[in-house]
Structure 1
Amino acid sequence: NPDKFPSTYMFQLSKDEVEILRTKISSTNYSAKSRSLPYAFTEKGLYMLATILKSKTAINTTFAIIETFAAVRELKRELVELHKEGDKEEKHSKMQHFGEILTNIVMPDLETTETESSLELNFIIGKIKHSVKRVKR
């Protein structure tokens, strides 16, 4: 499926990189007699690959990508609403909700024991600081 993998999704390894790969991983099936150099996927390419493959891991990765994308879209909507809000109390409530969404995107699997984490962002409309206290799952 070359149409699904533009140049920013994969790249061709150099001869030196292939040699390093062959010395580091003994199970590499790349033959020295091969006429072309192999390709490697970038992070974006791996995500695209996950949408094509049918393994359980690939399916779970695709679900995670979709969930993150939906959360980012919600974050965008929340930021627009926050910018429009005039009421101080309502704005504070929306900032809190915005911070929760952002924390779940940036630190979804935070596993700590009874500690607080802070996330602070500066936007044109103001500064948002959000503290989260999470307990180990």
Structure 2
Amino acid sequence: MEDHFVSDDIITNKIYLIRGQKVMLDSDLANLYQVETKYLKRQVRRNLERFPDDFMFELTPEEISRSQFGTLKQGGNIKYAPMVFSEQGVAMLSSVISSAPAIAVNIQIMRVFTKVRQMLTDNTELRLEIEKIKSKLDNQDKNMEIVFRYLDELLEAKYHPQPREPIGFRLKG
């Protein structure tokens, strides 16, 4: 299985965000599995009941025309709409494409998806912590503003004392 190793970076760069889902293209998966794209599509079509819409969907012409995928742009005239697979769809592919390279790469893809999900979770937690710190700083800023305003009032009172009536006896004279 080691001879089918693909770097995590290569897999990560083949994960796209489409319709709010992290997905991989059929052509990228076929390339990683070392099979032809038409073979992958044929196996999926023969087992469509295993691939509900949240596992796999085909790109619309609009999605293809504004795609971010260099491979689609180079192809020019596309005969069949590309299929894209979510993490669950990629996992399901292992039940319809079971060559040694496909199994090895599929395990690696699952691990990459897990890492990506963990990075997103870590980033969300980090963002929440930053927001807490910002909120605390905002509150401290407000408190400091009040303290400085009070100090300004005290200084103003010290340098510009209001005239007072003298205390004590007055001699009339």
What TM-score results when the alignment is normalised by the length of structure 2? Answer: 0.28
User: Highest CA radius of gyration, 1 or 2?
Assistant: 2
> Quick one: higher RCO (CA 8 Å, sep 6+), 1 or 2?
2
Q: Which has the higher helix share?
A: 2
What TM-score results when the alignment is normalised by the length of structure 1? Answer: 0.34
